[in-house]
């Protein structure tokens, strides 16, 4: 069974929305942490907003990671898009939870979820997340979408932590399941 991995940039107060506040902290160590995700994942699962942002930015990019982003299989969850045109993209519009559970049963590496806050809430509510890879930034944003919304309860087991010189903490958790 494949692991579904949620990866997020997060402020100290749990905000994951519009993470432009991460830019001053970016360095080679954080880039290497993010690169590790791609080495163990052969599929992306994206919500509409994240997909549209990535599809606008990556096809013409020469940045590190562009080849991966442009060529990896991408599943896009949206009830409003009529189609997806970015290379190797497939649209999921119906039976979202069942389709994602089916993807997890297929052979392959991990399924990586970048951003996609509304999709992530669905994944959390249906216990589909197998791993959380969080980069926690030393910033308090004060408002915005949070990773764990009100009413969500879960217990996580810390698997790994890493401190970066910039003050960012990498935290890797898995849900504790019975």
> In the predicted model, what is the mean pLDDT of residues 69-80?
96
CB of 108 closer than 8 Å to CB of 4 = no
Residue pLDDT, tens place only, 43-71: 999 999 999 999 999 999 998 889 999 99
> In the predicted model, what is the mean pLDDT of residues 85-103?
96
pLDDT at residue 177, as a whole number:
87
pTM, rounded to two decimals: 0.93
Nearest-10 crossing angle of helices 96-105, 117-125: 80
What length does the chain have? 178
CB of 164 closer than 8 Å to CB of 170 = yes
**Within 13 Å, how many C-alpha atoms sit on residue 113's CB side?**
31
Domain made up of 4-175: CATH architecture: 3-Layer(aba) Sandwich (3.40)
């Amino acid at each position: 069974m494949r692991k579904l991995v949620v990866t997020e940039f997060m402020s100290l107060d749990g905000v994951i929305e519009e993470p432009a506040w991460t830019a001053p902290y970016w360095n080679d160590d954080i880039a290497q942490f993010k690169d590790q995700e791609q080495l163990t994942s052969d599929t992306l699962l994206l919500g509409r907003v994240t997909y549209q942002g990535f599809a606008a930015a990556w096809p013409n990019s020469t940045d590190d990671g562009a080849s991966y982003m442009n060529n990896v299989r991408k599943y896009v969850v949206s009830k409003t898009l009529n189609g997806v045109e970015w290379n190797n993209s497939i649209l999921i519009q119906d039976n979202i939870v069942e389709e994602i559970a089916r993807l997890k049963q297929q052979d392959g590496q991990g399924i990586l979820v970048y951003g996609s806050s509304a999709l992530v809430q669905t994944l959390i509510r249906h216990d589909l997340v197998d791993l959380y890879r969080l980069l926690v930034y030393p910033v308090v944003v004060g408002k915005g979408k949070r990773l764990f919304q009100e009413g969500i309860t879960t217990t996580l087991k810390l698997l790994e932590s890493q401190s970066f010189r910039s003050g960012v903490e990498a935290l890797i958790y898995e849900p504790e399941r019975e």
